[in-house]
Amino acid sequence: MTHAEQATSESGSPAASSGSEIEQHPAVHVPGDGHMWVMVLGDLIIFGAYFIIFMVYRAMEPQEFLRSQEHLNINIGVLNTLVLLASSRFVARSVQAARGGDHALALRLTYLGGLCGVAFIVIKAYEWSTKIAQGYTISSNDFFMFYYMLTGVHLFHVSLGLLILGITARELRNPRRRRISMVESGATYWHMVDLLWIVIFALLYVMR
């Protein structure tokens, strides 16, 4: 009887087989398909390494990093953070809407999330162009090389995220293509993009 309860209450997560988990939550659930979590967890580890390497080089030239950091526009950094947080909220809400069967709402929220993503890219492009105009390029010094490379590879992830959200939207539009696993996987990826930016913002713009 307990086995049957376990079988119906969990959804595909191998670790949730102990009785205690059933008492905590009726549905222990890994959103999306397991493969996207390979991407997310692996990417977090890889970026974690990049962040630690950044800190090591910062420790070798703290004064230069501090001085260079002054030239970053913190207002734009904050704006970008808020934009990405809002986009994550839209995407999280779209997953909830899709689960509830309201696919029209889920689609609208996916579009809104994507729109914020586009806004992020536009703001970032503006920020880069002002920095380059002021003479701070990738070869200016170590700080700026890290700045352009970290934000650049993050921007690549944002673009990929927009592609994924686009695929989610395309599937949501067609009742025959809808898959909750796709909506969830796309959302998981997008939240990872948001999470990485939080770290980048803290390391490059704020900490001193």
Partner 1 sequence: MSNTISTHTSPSASTADTRRAKRAGKRDVWLVFWIVPAFYTAFGVIFFALARVMPPPRPDVTTDQMVHFFHAHGLTIKIGFGVLVLILGGAGVANGIVVYHMKRMTVGSVLAYAYLGSMSIGALPGCLLVAICFLTAVYRPGRDPQLLALLYDLGLLSYVGSLGCFSTAYFAFAVAILYDRNQIFPKWLAYVSVWQIVTEILAVPVFVSKAGPFAWNGSISFWMGTVIFGFWLSCVIVFLMKANERQPVDEAPLD
Partner 2 sequence: MTTTAARTTTYAWILLSAITIVSWWLAPGHARGAAAVASVPITLAVILLAFIKGRLIIRYFMEVRTAPRWLKLFTDAWLTVLWAGVLAIYLY
- Tell me which of partner 2, partner 1, none is bound by residue 169, counting a contact when its beta carbon lies within the kind-specific cut-off of 5 to 8 angstroms: none
Nearest-angstrom CA–CA distance, 67 and 51: 19
Kindly give, in sequence order, each residue whose CB lies less than 8 Å from that of residue 118, ignoring residues fewer than 6 positions away. Answer: 162
| Position 19, amino acid | G
Q: Determine the interface stretch with partner 2 among 70-78, 118-126, 138-146, 150-158 (rule: CB under 8 A).
A: 70-78
Q: Binding of partner 1 at residue 44 (CB under 8 A)?
A: no
Tell which phi-psi region holds residue 201, choosing left (phi > 0), alpha (psi between -120 and 50) or beta: alpha
End-to-end CA distance of the chain: give it in Å, rounded: 58
Residue closer to partner 1 by CB (options 35, 173) is 35
By CB under 8 A, the residues from 45 to 64 that bind partner 2 are: 45, 48, 51-52, 55-56, 58-59, 62
Contact by Cβ (8 Å): 120, 80: yes
Binding mask 74-103 for partner 2 (x = CB under 8 A): xx-xx--xx--xx-xx-xxx--x---x-x-
Site residues (vs partner 1, CB under 8 A) = 33-36, 38-39, 42-43, 46, 49-50, 53, 57, 138-139, 142, 145, 149, 152-153, 156-157, 160
